[in-house]
Chains A and B, each alone.
Chain A
Amino acid sequence: MKDKLVITSSPQFHNGDSTLTVMWSVSLALIPALVWGVAMFGLSSLWIVLVSIVSATFAEFILNKIYNKSSLWDGSAFLTGLLIGLNMPPQMPGLAWIYVPLGASFFAIFIVKGAFGGLGNNWMNPALGGRVFVFFSWTKHMTVWEVPMLDGVTGATPLGAVKSGLLGYSGSANNPLSLLNEVRDNSISYFDLFLGKIGGSIGEVSALLLLVGAIYLIIKKIIRWEIFASYLLTFTVFIWIFDGTRFGNGLFTGDILFHLLSGGLILGVFFMATDMVTSPISAKGMIIYGIGCGFLTFLFRVYGANPEGVSLAIIVMNIIVPIINRYSKPRLFGHNKKELENE
């Protein structure tokens, strides 16, 4: 008995969650969206995701050797690789399907994460960092969306098509979807957007399956409502107020549904912005951060040069998290001067 009893400082028990369960649960929650992407876009997309995961894990292995740590199986490297893969376009020319995801994963693990001391110390979401890195390095490969596997799927992503469609446009479409259907051969509906029968990154297209994963994580209390709720709310409010003006409809006519269902918003809101390590630490801070993400996403989407905006918005907010943390501390118990003076 004596040598089996453990001596520890209190508390003596735990709710049972660990870094391991957190990371693997998030990965698990992304699997349905991955399966959909592969079914939609073909096996080539699966190879891209596998390259991402294997290279991220390999990079983590090297880091483990250098720092003499053992974080290989905590799931974080796997998750980074998976997220990078899901953010890749489904097909790439030549050998790009190897070096682009590999470049993104290496950058994510070695530079974004490793250089700052490993998991928990990075200030930017590694997967997003990796994605942006390859986006600027191989922009051409990262913006190819020629993957007509299903009826109704052609060419650019819906957001991209709307953006380019609006340039010099003088037709009568007064919302993004009808504009989209005017400039393309096949028509798509909101339901197609929701299911994911559209072009886009491997893992971002099916809003439905991403939401299934997200709900699982919300139930498991892994992703925080403070972040996704304030993000979504801010984003929809601004889109509703301003986006209609681009179609000449005036204020308060924006097409919320279209924007919610396209351009990787769901993936970004529920799986990237909620990354624990790179979001604020207090509930108050998380709400501020979510509002910032929502506003910037709106801004980049509607007025920016790129059609997307989710990744960039989150990265910009990641950068100012330390400032948010500083100004969103909870009040210390028993330290409120005013309250104490009044007594």
Chain B
Amino acid sequence: MKLKSFPKGGIHPPHRKNSMYSKDDLNATIPSIAIIPLSQHIGAPAKCVVKVGDIVKEEDLIGESVGFVSANIHTPIPGEVIEIKDVYLPSGRVSPAVVIETKGEFTRLGKPLEVSSWEGLDKSELVDIIKRQGIVGLGGATFPTHVKLTLPEGVELEHLIINAAECEPYLSSDHVLMLEYSKEITTGLKILKKILDPKNIYVGMEVNKKDAGELLTNTFKEESLDASVVLLKNKYPQGAEKNLVRAIIGKEIPSGKLPLSVGVINLNVSTVYAIYEAVCLNRPLVERFVTIAGGAVKKPGVYRVRVGSTAKSLIEECGGLIEEPSKVIFGGPMMGFTVFDLDVPITKGTSGILALTKKEVNAAKTTNCLKCGRCVDGCPMGLLPSKLYKLIDHNKYDEALDEGLNDCVECGSCAYNCPAHLFLVQQFRSGKSIVRRSKGAK
């Protein structure tokens, strides 16, 4: 069988997807103190609706969505609000956070949940539930899902593409999810089908998850859902939205446009599962699958984790550290964020916690660009990263824009291979933000 892929660029970092998981023991320990940031999504931070001393029940609303692009925040544990303070998010930004200490009874944890029927609900009711339960994109971008699901008037959806590529090294959360919850994902897709009425539904994943693909294909058949699994080459960044769409339907999303311009809506497979839980189990988004891995972790694993747990507690869950890590990363090694201590909380967008050793990181001194062209080979967007770097270095932002600066998806393929160890992505990010600011000023 011929595997699909995007045509140009891409790299082959080592997979290192060696995290173990146990079917019977997927749940990570519930945190006794949960630190829940009010900004866990792109868009305006939620408005705090509790105050210190308040007693909350499990899954109660603690942050209310404000404005169109924003999302509700719920508490993963029952207890008392002991503090409201500013915390560092993995991205380095600061956000107010509600700190809750476990107290009282878990009303839902460990109890069989009633599956409610949704077939009778109409589109807008379903979207309302998804909005109420605070569902955001779980691939990392954390865009509020209800916004994505609201199609402009008169637009018919051609393809719903589910992103299960999970192309970042180390990460296997989506893989485990698909192996364990293929039925639930199928139901989630049915719900989405009702909301969006797409002509086709595709689930794209790298071929290293073939077993999950076969399982899903069978489940779709059993549940008579008309959707197909598309196997993709193992190549990074197969899961970047533009590449995924190109690989699956063969069309390029025009520069600066949304996937909808080629008739596509894109959702992560974990988001589909969250939609299932929201609609069928009446659960807000307070949990997600997280991969804890890296050479410094004793027993790398995949767990279902409550939002608000800290990196420290999860690493302990995995037997602790066997050596001093050089970096601790939230997300994957290609696009994730480093943090400077282990007390940073897991948010809705956290797909992995990686503690990498010095040897895994492979840092080296930066030198001048060697013009080797490896960055050009690696760039899936057809950019000339070495040239962009130089232009930004010389403050030639207009020229950089002409060369496609804003088309850079910050995937890091260029920098991964750069023998000069130039901080290419960092340069592009700062270039973009300078351009944005100067545009704003005009």
Contacts of A74 in B (CB 8 A): 367
Among A10, A11, A16, A281, contact of B373 (Cβ-Cβ < 8 Å): A281
Nearest CB of B to A332, in Å: 5
Whether the pair A282, B383 counts as a contact (CB closer than 8 A) is no
- Chain A contributes a number of interface residues (CB within 8 A of B) equal to 49
Contacts of B368 in A (CB 8 A): 117-121
The answer to the question of B425 belonging to the interface, with a C-beta cut-off of 8 Å to chain A, is: yes
Whether the pair B376, A282 counts as a contact (CB closer than 8 A) is yes
The answer to the question of B372 belonging to the interface, with a C-beta cut-off of 8 Å to chain A, is: yes
Whether the pair A17, B326 counts as a contact (CB closer than 8 A) is no
Whether the pair A11, B416 counts as a contact (CB closer than 8 A) is yes
Whether the pair A20, B364 counts as a contact (CB closer than 8 A) is yes
Nearest CB of A to B393, in Å: 12
Give the most central of B262, B335, B373, B379: most A CB within 10 Å.
B373
The answer to the question of B30 belonging to the interface, with a C-beta cut-off of 8 Å to chain A, is: no
0/1 per residue, B399-442, Cβ < 8 Å to A?
00000100100101001111111010110010000000000000
The answer to the question of B106 belonging to the interface, with a C-beta cut-off of 8 Å to chain A, is: no
Given contacts A224-B373, A281-B376, contact A12 B338 (CB under 8 A): yes
Whether the pair A13, B362 counts as a contact (CB closer than 8 A) is yes
Whether the pair A334, B253 counts as a contact (CB closer than 8 A) is yes
Whether the pair B325, A11 counts as a contact (CB closer than 8 A) is no
0/1 per residue, A40-78, Cβ < 8 Å to B?
000000000000000000000000000000010010000
Residue of B nearest to A277 (CB): B371
Whether the pair A339, B356 counts as a contact (CB closer than 8 A) is no
Residue of A nearest to B360 (CB): A13
Whether the pair A5, B252 counts as a contact (CB closer than 8 A) is no
Whether the pair B242, A333 counts as a contact (CB closer than 8 A) is yes
Whether the pair B254, A340 counts as a contact (CB closer than 8 A) is yes
Whether the pair B335, A6 counts as a contact (CB closer than 8 A) is no
Whether the pair A330, B255 counts as a contact (CB closer than 8 A) is no
Given contacts A18-B421, A334-B407, contact A7 B415 (CB under 8 A): no
Nearest CB of B to A290, in Å: 13
Whether the pair A339, B252 counts as a contact (CB closer than 8 A) is yes
Contacts of B11 in A (CB 8 A): 15
Question: Given the complex of chains A and B, what is the CA–CA distance between A206 and B426 in angstroms?
Answer: 46
In chain A, positions 19-33 with a C-beta closer than 8 Å to chain B are: 19-22
Given contacts A5-B326, A20-B364, A276-B370, contact A10 B334 (CB under 8 A): yes
Whether the pair B364, A18 counts as a contact (CB closer than 8 A) is yes
Contacts of B362 in A (CB 8 A): 13-16
Residue of A nearest to B359 (CB): A16
Nearest CB of B to A339, in Å: 7
Give the most central of A118, A120, A286: most B CB within 10 Å.
A120
Given contacts A9-B429, A10-B410, A330-B382, contact A276 B340 (CB under 8 A): no
Whether the pair A7, B338 counts as a contact (CB closer than 8 A) is yes
Whether the pair A10, B425 counts as a contact (CB closer than 8 A) is yes
The answer to the question of A320 belonging to the interface, with a C-beta cut-off of 8 Å to chain B, is: no
Whether the pair A71, B325 counts as a contact (CB closer than 8 A) is no
Among B342, B370, B382, contact of A333 (Cβ-Cβ < 8 Å): B382
Contacts of B429 in A (CB 8 A): 9
Whether the pair B341, A9 counts as a contact (CB closer than 8 A) is no
Whether the pair A276, B373 counts as a contact (CB closer than 8 A) is yes
0/1 per residue, B64-105, Cβ < 8 Å to A?
000000000000000000000000000010000000000000
Given contacts A5-B327, A5-B328, A119-B368, contact A12 B417 (CB under 8 A): no
The answer to the question of B199 belonging to the interface, with a C-beta cut-off of 8 Å to chain A, is: no
The answer to the question of A280 belonging to the interface, with a C-beta cut-off of 8 Å to chain B, is: yes
Among A10, A13, A117, A121, contact of B356 (Cβ-Cβ < 8 Å): A13
The answer to the question of B221 belonging to the interface, with a C-beta cut-off of 8 Å to chain A, is: no
In chain B, positions 353-407 with a C-beta closer than 8 Å to chain A are: 354, 356, 360-365, 367-373, 376-377, 379-384, 386-387, 404, 407
Whether the pair B364, A8 counts as a contact (CB closer than 8 A) is no
Q: Do most interface residues of chain B lie in helix, strand or loop, or is the interface mixed?
A: loop
Contacts of A140 in B (CB 8 A): none
Whether the pair A329, B384 counts as a contact (CB closer than 8 A) is yes
Given contacts A119-B368, A120-B371, contact A11 B420 (CB under 8 A): no
Nearest CB of B to A67, in Å: 11
The answer to the question of A170 belonging to the interface, with a C-beta cut-off of 8 Å to chain B, is: no
The answer to the question of A323 belonging to the interface, with a C-beta cut-off of 8 Å to chain B, is: no
Nearest CB of A to B362, in Å: 4
Whether the pair A330, B8 counts as a contact (CB closer than 8 A) is yes
Contacts of A4 in B (CB 8 A): 324, 326
Whether the pair A11, B415 counts as a contact (CB closer than 8 A) is yes
Whether the pair B425, A9 counts as a contact (CB closer than 8 A) is yes
Contacts of B373 in A (CB 8 A): 224, 276, 279-283, 286
Contacts of A17 in B (CB 8 A): 417, 419
Question: Given the complex of chains A and B, what is the CA–CA distance between A10 and B427 in angstroms?
Answer: 11
Whether the pair A277, B370 counts as a contact (CB closer than 8 A) is yes
Question: Given the complex of chains A and B, what is the CA–CA distance between A74 and B326 in angstroms?
Answer: 24
Nearest CB of B to A11, in Å: 3
The answer to the question of B13 belonging to the interface, with a C-beta cut-off of 8 Å to chain A, is: yes
Contacts of A333 in B (CB 8 A): 8, 242, 246, 252, 255, 380-382, 407
Whether the pair A276, B367 counts as a contact (CB closer than 8 A) is no
Question: Given the complex of chains A and B, what is the CA–CA distance between A277 and B92 in angstroms?
Answer: 36
Contacts of A12 in B (CB 8 A): 327, 329, 333-334, 336, 338, 354, 356, 361
Question: Given the complex of chains A and B, what is the CA–CA distance between A2 and B410 in angstroms?
Answer: 27
Among B8, B337, B371, B380, contact of A281 (Cβ-Cβ < 8 Å): B371
The answer to the question of B339 belonging to the interface, with a C-beta cut-off of 8 Å to chain A, is: yes
The answer to the question of B298 belonging to the interface, with a C-beta cut-off of 8 Å to chain A, is: no
Residue of B nearest to A11 (CB): B412
Question: Given the complex of chains A and B, what is the CA–CA distance between A11 and B170 in angstroms?
Answer: 14
The answer to the question of B251 belonging to the interface, with a C-beta cut-off of 8 Å to chain A, is: yes
Sorted nearest first, the 8 A-B pairs with minimum C-beta distance are: A11-B412, A120-B368, A9-B426, A276-B372, A18-B364, A334-B255, A330-B382, A14-B362
Q: What are 14 residue pairs bridging A and B, where the CB atoms are less than 8 Å apart in the complex?
A: A6-B338, A8-B423, A10-B412, A12-B336, A12-B356, A18-B420, A120-B371, A280-B373, A282-B373, A283-B373, A329-B384, A334-B407, A335-B382, A343-B262
Given A18-B364, A18-B420; 9 other pairs, CB 8 A cutoff = A9-B423, A10-B333, A119-B367, A119-B370, A120-B370, A121-B368, A277-B370, A332-B383, A343-B251
